[in-house]
Amino acid sequence: MLEDNKKVIETLYQNRFNHEEIQKKEKVWRILCKYFFQKYIHQSDVVIDIGTGFCEFINNIECKKKIGLDINPITKLYANSDVEIINESADNIVSVASDTIDVAFVSNFFEHLPNKEILSKSLEEIHRILKAGGKICILQPNIAVLNGKYWDFYDHNIPLSHKSMAEALLLSGFRIVEIKAKFLPYTTKSKLPRTPLLVRLYLLCPFLHSFLGGQAWLVAEKIN
């Protein structure tokens, strides 16, 4: 079953993003990491990127140790030399010991899981590998503000809002630290913002988030 899922994901993402789009995404994420995500991560942290995809986040963040987790076999082709890639599912992270991770970053991943049972198991695994007080940072499409557009991607399975994701985190032993119901635009395929300059300006103008934001941002801490 896992091998079948790997093949489906590999084919889907090869069709969804061409080489030019991947390069544009990389430039956008470089700005996002430098001017926003980096403030949640220290230079001494061990960081795991769950569902790392094309490695846009983990390649561009600065920290002590970088781990990317994804079942897509082509992920390793996009990882920088300082990134360790683990081809395992998020609900069974056997290669990472308990209480060893400072920050788990999750971007546009949980909605792709087949059901909420797997989501809960994934949160349990993330909770297990995080150190006491470790953080989980989540960027996700928000069905509460997107409505029908949420289903524009064939592999979106679980409807999640900022509120339902917060409840799932609480049930899994986390304390909510921060929630932004509207943060980034829904997809990098949208017209605004696309260039690094527009992304930087967007981050500097929070009032724009209420108009263009389709993704939620959540930060939570492991408490037990």
- Dump pLDDT digits (tens) for 47-86: 999 999 999 999 999 999 999 999 999 999 999 999 999 9
CATH of the domain at 30: 3.40.50.150
Is the pLDDT at 9 greater than 80, yes or no? Answer: no
What domain range includes position 78? 2-222
Query: What's the rounded Cα separation, in Å, for the pair 208 and 186?
Result: 13
User: Nearest CA to 34 among 174, 216, 204, 222?
Assistant: 204
Look at the chain and report how many structural domains it folds into. 1
Assigned token pair, 105: 């970053």
- Summarised one tens digit per residue, pLDDT across range 27-47 is 899 999 999 999 999 999 999
Whether omega before 206 lies within 30 degrees of 0, making that bond cis, reads no
User: pTM to 2 decimals?
Assistant: 0.89
Return the pLDDT at 189.
55
Is the pLDDT at 160 greater than 80, yes or no? Answer: yes
Higher pLDDT, 73 or 95: 95
If you average pLDDT over residues 189-209, what whole number do you get? 80
